[in-house]
Structure 1
């Protein structure tokens, strides 16, 4: 008897049963503060009837479905979101107006009827994000216009995002390759708003200057939720000898033309020398 009770307790703790079994748990990976989201818990009863389905945020129960009771659906107060009872049923629920404190682990727990009350549960995590206030900004400490072969220093600034977004630089539509000088997060003590700064510097090679122009883009993003970018165009002074970069068609053409002109001058000089020699012989 003691062994049977021990096995039953272990099954309940581990969420492993021979009856009720959760087959799918889906929650939004990330939500913006104030948004809504659907949480869904699907199970296979395997012949065991459901006594109750419960949803928890952390250790706090906020939703319960008991098909044999009236009313079937009960919700419990939470300050972090509200449950829309009108469209929530069984294991599928809709939550509104999530706060930053709504982030965390969510657990669905399904229990069978007496006498065993076999239970299965599954857990998933939700991130809640305060989105940045507007597009990211690009600033530069390097004097302008830029010059080729100098080191350019840039900073991307994103205001208001909590937690800080991922900031990524692109140079001429290609992900930037260079030296990252760290990231700063500045917190406003009164509003608790955060400003994120990411610093980057790179060598401005001639190949990066497209017709005397450098295009810089900074992207602020949160996976599965948010993507915002801004671009700036910087003028670049290109020395005359670099205006036709090696490997371009213009450079190849000019170089070939110069070689052709050089050969023509040499041939002309040979003809002049030979002609002069012949004339001298005749005069003798």
Structure 2
């Protein structure tokens, strides 16, 4: 009888404890935009003692019902609190700058006799979109078979930096054609990226005597990243970290529980279910895994339309893989928001131009004469070769 009463008492106490229901901190905010920060909690019958807000663990706002006025702010670089529109559940930042970036946390405490405290925190990123389209430099007015194309695409400064890609006649350029340059830093933390394209023009590159080059700049912001980890030593075990919610973090599955040097290590990683594809990345001893080890599988599509990304890792275990604490294999699941996409496209060697960019001849004037002349020569040569082939067949 006593035991039953004890269990019920503990259950009621747990049910009536302070709860932080939700913390709303936007993942990304455009520069100068205002921000609402929400902290929803359930006092479960207790009296509120305080609500405190922190940025990078430094307090910038507190609400104490016993104070007059109850709301107070503390100066902090990048945090522009509007006291009139802030209270015990939310804080209003009337503007943002590049220093607003950071980790924002809410802490709620109750009065005596419970003296309970709950807290949570989330990251906020401020972004700046590029003003202009990417710029293509190094273009010639006309290219022929055997000519070298050596051009560079540069993005307009942004935060975060843009990711660049090249298309040749609408198809992705081969990785061997690409040259990545160091990111250039500009004022106020903005960054400019550059991507080179170098290849020799072949017959397959010329479509009706013209060559199309397309550079795309995409600015995206990571808003979610979680990792799952296993350690291989004398045996394999799951990482005990409990900060990764099972329903959100990636799931790692291996076919064996123990490995020896010389064995083939095979591990699969799947993301949590979502309506959008999730990028998965492998790390071996905190270094990005070699692409020779990685197996890219198509996503798993479920009946309700959601999907899970799937990626595999396969390699032979050697002594060099084993550190003092064993071999650490980590799978990171990342989701990003595309903030902006800008494109610059040029068509060279013909009479067509696009995106407002006109290819100039060496004298600085718009000219297609050389391109047309090359097209006529190429067409005449092709016709002559075709006639010669017919004559040879008749003989």
Q: Same fold (TM over 0.5)?
A: yes
Tell me the equivalent position of 1:153.
Answer: 150
Matches within 5 A, 1:238-253: 239-240=378-379
Does 1:164 pair with 2:277?
Answer: no
In the alignment, the residues of structure 2 paired with residue 230 and residue 242 of structure 1 have an alpha-carbon distance, to the nearest angstrom, of 36
In the alignment, the residues of structure 2 paired with residue 18 and residue 154 of structure 1 have an alpha-carbon distance, to the nearest angstrom, of 66
Which among 334, 340, 349 is matched to residue 227 of structure 1? 340
Cα 1:183/1:42, change in 2 over 3 Å: farther
Deviates more, 1:234-243 or 1:34-43: 234-243
Q: Which runs of 5+ in 1 are unaligned?
A: 1-15, 244-254, 256-260, 270-284
Structure 1, residues 46-102: CA drift from partner, whole Å, max 9, x if none?
Answer: 333332211100121112223454323222222313112333333222213322222
Please state which structure has a larger fraction of its residues in helix: 1
CA contact (8 A) 1:65 1:89 kept: yes
CA contact (8 A) 1:80 1:101 kept: yes
Does 1:21 pair with 2:134?
Answer: no
Matches within 5 A, 1:21-170: 21-141=19-139, 143-148=140-145, 152-170=149-167
TM-score, normalised relative to structure 2:
0.49
CA contact (8 A) 2:148 2:200 kept: yes
State the structure with bigger RCO (CA 8 A, min sep 6), 1 or 2: 1
Q: CA deviation at 1:110?
A: 1.2
CA contact (8 A) 2:163 2:193 kept: no
Q: Which runs of 5+ in 2 are unaligned?
A: 1-13, 222-336, 350-373
Q: CA deviation at 1:207?
A: 5.3
Structure 1, residues 185-225: CA drift from partner, whole Å, max 9, x if none?
Answer: 2346x887644322233565655544424141321413337
In the alignment, the residues of structure 2 paired with residue 171 and residue 43 of structure 1 have an alpha-carbon distance, to the nearest angstrom, of 54
For these two proteins, the number of residue pairs brought into alignment is 234
Cα 1:221/1:115, change in 2 over 3 Å: same
Matches within 5 A, 1:135-284: 135-141=133-139, 143-148=140-145, 152-179=149-176, 180-187=178-185, 194-202=191-199, 209-211=206-208, 212-223=210-221, 224=337, 226-236=339-349, 239-240=378-379
TM-score, normalised relative to structure 1:
0.66
In the alignment, the residues of structure 1 paired with residue 46 and residue 201 of structure 2 have an alpha-carbon distance, to the nearest angstrom, of 69
Q: If you compute each CA radius of gyration, which structure gives the higher value, 1 or 2?
A: 1
Q: In structure 2, the residue corresponding to 1:90 is in which secondary structure?
A: coil
In the alignment, the residues of structure 2 paired with residue 32 and residue 192 of structure 1 have an alpha-carbon distance, to the nearest angstrom, of 14
Q: In structure 1, the residue corresponding to 2:99 is in which secondary structure?
A: helix
Deviates more, 1:123-132 or 1:203-212: 203-212
Cα 1:39/1:192, change in 2 over 3 Å: closer
CA contact (8 A) 1:151 1:203 kept: yes
Q: CA deviation at 1:18?
A: 6.5
Q: In structure 2, the residue corresponding to 1:48 is in which secondary structure?
A: coil
User: What's the RMSD between the two structures over aligned residues?
Assistant: 3.7
In the alignment, the residues of structure 1 paired with residue 25 and residue 61 of structure 2 have an alpha-carbon distance, to the nearest angstrom, of 15
Q: In structure 2, the residue corresponding to 1:82 is in which secondary structure?
A: coil
Cα 1:214/1:93, change in 2 over 3 Å: same
